[in-house]
């Protein structure tokens, strides 16, 4: 069984170690409306396990003399105040959320925390609101509550073995990958025509923080190659992948037909949840 529940940029995944940051957080007299993430919305779980070199620093987070934490973000040479928070981590989360709206998926390079199975849905959530509305929610502390509600109303989709085929490969049409996984495809829009692009390795983490390696390849499709489904399974070789891709694009598509039809259904309902799906 394979539960894909979070995505973490490769460079972050490699460089960061598991740790906790809660002990660094000071108490706060004036509590915000913001609820700490719970087990049902384990944002903190994903965050807790990530530490940074010099892990007392967060981008966009400032500390007042009284020990309270503020968040700010700079856009177009202007500072936007994101409010005060009861902890540096919450301030950092506020910064990340604002960064998504203000910088789109360039936020990949402007984040405190890697994408988790929950935060990866923030761009879709934020599309419902104007920039001003998102910033206001961050400021007044209602953002996490609204986002949590948004996630609750989403349906999760379960993948089956037929979705991945014999090679354990999940193939996603480029149009869906570009639409729903823009942080993986953004760079391609800036490529020059004819430029050869190497495959990009992407690491997903399941709820047990187990690592799963995928590979984005730009053939006729943007696709994900599942290199292993369990520690005992042998990895799909590049030779097998290339043979299948080049010999018959239709064959590649076949295992993904069910998945793609589900994609369409989800799209019609106004959203798509890839992460949190199960392959068994």
Residues near DNA (CB under 7 A) are 28-30, 57-66, 68, 70, 72-79, 81, 83-84, 110, 139
By C-beta, is 106 or 267 nearer to DNA? 106
By C-beta, is 34 or 119 nearer to DNA? 34
Shortest spacing between CB 225 and DNA, in angstroms: 33
Q: Name residues whose C-beta falls within 8 Å of residue 160's C-beta, 6 or more positions apart in sequence.
A: 258, 279, 280
By C-beta, is 24 or 235 nearer to DNA? 24
Number of other CB atoms surrounding residue 53 within 10 Å: 8
Distance CA 91, CA 247 (A): 51
By C-beta, is 79 or 243 nearer to DNA? 79
By C-beta, is 134 or 167 nearer to DNA? 134
Q: How many residues does the chain have?
A: 280
By C-beta, is 112 or 217 nearer to DNA? 112
Shortest spacing between CB 71 and DNA, in angstroms: 8
The SS3 assignment for 207 reads coil
The SS3 assignment for 232 reads coil
Number of other CB atoms surrounding residue 188 within 10 Å: 17
Q: Which of 184, 194, 189, 175 is nearest to 275 (CA)?
A: 184
By C-beta, is 71 or 277 nearer to DNA? 71
By C-beta, is 27 or 194 nearer to DNA? 27
Facing residues of 17 across strands?
Answer: 51
Shortest spacing between CB 76 and DNA, in angstroms: 6
Q: Which of 182, 177, 167, 185 is nearest to 244 (CA)?
A: 167
Q: Which of 83, 124, 84, 123 is nearest to 102 (CA)?
A: 123
Shortest spacing between CB 77 and DNA, in angstroms: 4
Shortest spacing between CB 117 and DNA, in angstroms: 24
Determine the angle formed by the axes of helices 131-140 and 88-103, rounding to 10 degrees.
180
Shortest spacing between CB 29 and DNA, in angstroms: 4
The SS3 assignment for 141 reads coil
Shortest spacing between CB 141 and DNA, in angstroms: 10
User: Between the CA of residue 68 and those of 33, 62, 140, what are the distances in Å?
Assistant: 15, 8, 16
Shortest spacing between CB 33 and DNA, in angstroms: 11
Strand-by-strand arrangement of the 222-225 sheet = 6-8, 200-205, 211-218, 222-225, 169-171
């Amino acid at each position: 069984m394979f539960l894909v529940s979070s995505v973490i940029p490769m460079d972050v995944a490699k460089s960061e170690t598991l740790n906790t940051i809660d002990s660094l957080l000071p108490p706060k007299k004036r509590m915000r409306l913001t609820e700490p993430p719970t087990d049902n919305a384990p944002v903190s779980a994903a965050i807790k396990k990530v530490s940074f070199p010099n892990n007392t620093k967060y981008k966009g987070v400032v500390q007042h003399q009284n020990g309270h934490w503020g968040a700010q973000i700079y856009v177009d040479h202007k500072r936007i105040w994101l409010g005060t928070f009861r902890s540096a981590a919450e301030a950092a989360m506020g910064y990340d959320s604002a960064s998504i709206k203000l910088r789109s998926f360039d936020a990949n390079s402007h984040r405190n925390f890697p994408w988790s199975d929950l935060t990866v849905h923030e761009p879709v959530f934020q599309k419902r609101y104007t920039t001003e509305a998102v910033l206001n929610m961050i400021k007044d502390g209602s953002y996490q509550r609204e986002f949590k509600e948004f996630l609750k109303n989403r349906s999760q989709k379960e993948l089956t073995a037929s979705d991945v085929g014999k090679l354990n490969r999940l193939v996603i049409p480029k149009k869906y990958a570009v639409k729903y996984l823009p942080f993986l495809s953004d760079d391609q829009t800036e490529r020059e025509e004819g430029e050869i692009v190497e495959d990009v390795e992407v690491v997903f983490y399941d709820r047990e923080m187990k690592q799963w390696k995928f590979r984005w390849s730009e053939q006729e499709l943007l696709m994900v190659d599942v290199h292993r489904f369990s520690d005992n399974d042998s990895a799909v070789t590049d030779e097998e992948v290339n043979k299948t891709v080049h010999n018959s694009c239709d064959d590649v598509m076949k295992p993904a037909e069910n998945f793609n039809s589900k994609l369409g259904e989800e799209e019609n309902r106004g959203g798509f949840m890839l992460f949190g799906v199960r392959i068994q």
